[in-house]
Structure 1
Amino acid sequence: MDVVCPGTDAGATPRTTVVLADDHLVVRAGMRLLLSQDRTFDVVAESGTVDETLQAVHGHRPSVLVLDLTMGGRSSLPVIPDMLSASPETRILVLTMQEDPAFAREALRAGATGYLLKEAAGEELLAAARQVSRGATYVQPAMGARLAMTGEGADGTDPLTGREVEVLSLLALGHTNQEIARRLYVSVRTVETHRARIRDKLHVETRAELITAARERGLLT
């Protein structure tokens, strides 16, 4: 395991500590370079296997763990609960090539706070790391929409239709039923029907719950 010692200055603002877990050295080097451009992040360790990652999390208790789903031919999914047990305050951002929503669903259910594909732009990785470090959930928008419409969300809820996804997004942004009806060229009664179905499927009532549900599905950033 390669360890990078944190460089901190006396009196400096605490930085977000990060462990990078990927079995490809060049991938880790790229992530380290990207994160080093943002002075709020401090990469404290790197690992290339599942066991090394568990050791790094236990030893460093980082703010964020950027985790590949497969390292050395072994899945890291079953070990996510162990990592969180070793460091409950660590937020796990999965960075993977796995586009199947089932993997995102399982990662989020296991305790990951974010899910991002390796094809994402560098700025999105930084944005995702910032968001999960604050305790918020981040799912790449395209993946979030697929989760919402296929029902493969972190909470096992029923699938939303494409129109329900649109309505949920607009509700979470603060639009009224009347405003949504004008935007979607439908009647207010139709919006009310969609809203009722969303409420029943996701078990949400308040505006705060709507916002949380939308964020979990990658509909808000």
Structure 2
Amino acid sequence: MSTIRIVLADDHQVVRAGLALLLGGEEGIEVVAQAGDVDGTLRAVLGHKPDVLVLDLNMPGTLTSLEAIPQVRTKSPLTATVVLTMQEDPEYARRSLRAGAMGYVLKESADAELVEAVRRAADGQTYLNPSLGARLVAMPEKPAGPPGDLSGREAEVLRLLALGHTNAEVGEQLFLSVRTVETHRAHIQQKLSLTTRAELVRYALDHGLLDDA
């Protein structure tokens, strides 16, 4: 069995140290890098291309942790993300899974669940904290999709931008000129009253545009 290589991201050094001991003590698991903010996490993922990223949901950085998940998928498609958090709200679990996370573990249950979540994620399987899973099933899903005044093409452009693609890459995938992509992006920002990429990513996550990404 090959070793599961992990990047560990948490903004509290003491927590990182404890998690590194927990994971590093398991057979077939190696922590290859650690990070304390979102920007450092993305650099570590790009540099190490780990099998699994264990990601705290609340870290400082240019992007939020939630917004970074699709960026991880873009920078390192073979890296599975396991979210480790104190957030017990099932909506955060839903958003994390929509963004592309393969696991959602509560910090209070890390000792019992994190190793299993990591192993499942490395094997291409999803892990969700059992109590949260039950609450998620029982919770009605919020309406997904863009508002009626956002066209299908604009929604597709927004989805690709939220996944971290440049205007040129979006144009290449959709067979559009860069100028046309820029025009679509301007219309999207005007219609949604959004200005930054981070706001666009958050909107795409909240409206389910990354569900099938």
**Which position in structure 2 is the counterpart of 1:197?**
none
**Which position in structure 2 is the counterpart of 1:85?**
74
What aligned pairs does 1:138-177 form with structure 2 within 5 A after superposition?
A: 138-152=127-141
- Distance in 2 (CA, whole Å) between partners of 1:152 and 1:28 is 33
Q: Which runs of 4 or more aligned residues in structure 1 lie more than 4 Å from their structure 2 counterparts after TM superposition?
A: none
Q: Any idea what the Cα deviations from partners look like across 1:124-149, whole Å, max 9, x if unmatched?
A: 11111111111000000000001000
**Which position in structure 2 is the counterpart of 1:32?**
20
Where does structure 1 lack aligned partners over 5 or more consecutive residues?
1-12, 157-221
* Segment of structure 1 superposing worse, 126-135 or 86-95: 126-135
% identity of equivalent residues: 54
Where does structure 2 lack aligned partners over 5 or more consecutive residues?
145-213
Q: Helix, strand or coil: the match of 2:115?
A: helix
Within the alignment, does 1:119 sit opposite 2:105 as a pair?
no
Work out whether residues 101 and 152 of structure 1, in 8 Å CA contact, stay in contact via their aligned partners in 2. Answer: no
- The normalised TM-score by structure 2 is 0.64
Letter in 2 for 1:128: A
**Which position in structure 2 is the counterpart of 1:50?**
38
**Which position in structure 1 is the counterpart of 2:156?**
none
Question: In the TM superposition, what is the alpha-carbon distance from 1:70 to its structure 2 partner?
Answer: 1.1
Work out whether residues 104 and 115 of structure 1, in 8 Å CA contact, stay in contact via their aligned partners in 2. Answer: yes
**Which position in structure 1 is the counterpart of 2:123?**
134
Letter in 1 for 2:135: R
Work out whether residues 69 and 77 of structure 1, in 8 Å CA contact, stay in contact via their aligned partners in 2. Answer: yes
- Distance in 2 (CA, whole Å) between partners of 1:53 and 1:127 is 22
Instruction: Note closer, same or farther for the CA distance 1:150–1:65 as it changes in structure 2 (3 Å cut).
Output: same
**Which position in structure 2 is the counterpart of 1:184?**
none
Within the alignment, does 1:66 sit opposite 2:54 as a pair?
yes
Within the alignment, does 1:94 sit opposite 2:83 as a pair?
yes
